[in-house]
Amino acid sequence: MGTTSMTGASRGLGREAAEHLLRHHPDQHLLVFNRRPGLAAELAASTGNDNVSEVLCDLASFADIRRAAAEVDRPLDGFLGNAGLQMATTDKHTADGVEMTFGVNVLAYHLLLNLLRPRFTNPARVIIVGSDVHDSAHNSMGLIPPPRWTDPRELARPREGGGREGRRAYATSKLGVVYLVHALRRRLPEGVDVYSYNPGLVPDTELSRDAGRFGRAAFRTIGKALVTLPIATTADRAGRLLAETMTGPRPGESGSYISRGEVIPSSSESYDERREEELWAVADELCGLTADGTTRTPRRSA
């Protein structure tokens, strides 16, 4: 019996994906990382499958990620990184002083996956959920500004910026996810595959929960209209497809970008080995990782 570990299983497409995994792969153990206790019991009750456990983990704290990773005591043949957030501003920070969006969407996965690497079996599959907004050419109907990549140390620094810059930070973090996947592919052994995954526009999620009462209401209203269009999908459909990509036949070469279950090229900007390696080095520094994979005191973002 194998084990798939997962973040972001409490709501939205992640909850749908987790329940699909438990219903359709009852012999595969699901280990969920979650900030609050009780999610494993909820999933067991909703699916009738108690082959699920949990580790408490706050992805906005490097210390908590280290503690959670140390509690994983079983081999892993899968990792599904679905947790992510979009902040209304760029001035909020993690427990380590990192800009919140970049800290959770990029650095948390860098640290967690590096700590879990000794646990991965061969073969194993790692998927990190990204977004098509990583592509400057993507038409998000003006809702999400295009990414603006710069020195990762600058991206990690909290700064003044309202709603538009908060949304731009989200797009930029999703470009960072693709860079992270490309860099990780070069470091994983053959047989351990890593992918970035774009679920498409999924309006019926709580991604806008930091937007305030009026912003959330507007997003829900727009979302109800968007799900009727080909450009969008519902959380249940997106979650089901994500789960099937996790458990189905090998989707493509390691490092590939998967959009709605299909391997396609990511943006032209996302193929930049210099940026990828710079991000990896800075992430090691900020997360407190050494070249041999051991940990040291992380550097607090200025």
Q: Is the pLDDT of residue 206 over 90?
A: no
Average pLDDT over residues 226-250: 85
The whole-number pLDDT of residue 203 equals: 81
pLDDT band at 183 (very low <50, low <70, confident <90, very high): very high
CA–CA separation, 98 vs 103, rounded Å?
Answer: 6
The residue ranges of DSSP E strands in 165-256, in sequence order, are 192-198
Does 123 sit behind a cis peptide bond, omega within 30 degrees of 0 on the bond before it? yes
Give dist(CA 254, CA 195) in Å, integer.
6
Backbone dihedral angles phi then psi of residue 61, each to the nearest 5 degrees: -145, 115
pLDDT at 99 over 80: yes
Distance CA 190, CA 211 (A): 42
226 pLDDT band, cuts 50/70/90, is: low
Per-residue model confidence (pLDDT) at position 212: 57
Averaged pLDDT for residues 185-200:
97
Residue position matching structure tokens 């809702």: 143
Q: What is the mean pLDDT of residues 114-122?
A: 98
pLDDT exceeds cutoff 90 at 257: yes
Q: Which pLDDT value is given to residue 233? A: 84
Query: What is the set of domains in the chain, with CATH numbers?
Result: 3-287 (3.40.50.720)
Confidence of residue 162 (pLDDT cuts 50, 70, 90): confident
pLDDT exceeds cutoff 70 at 93: yes
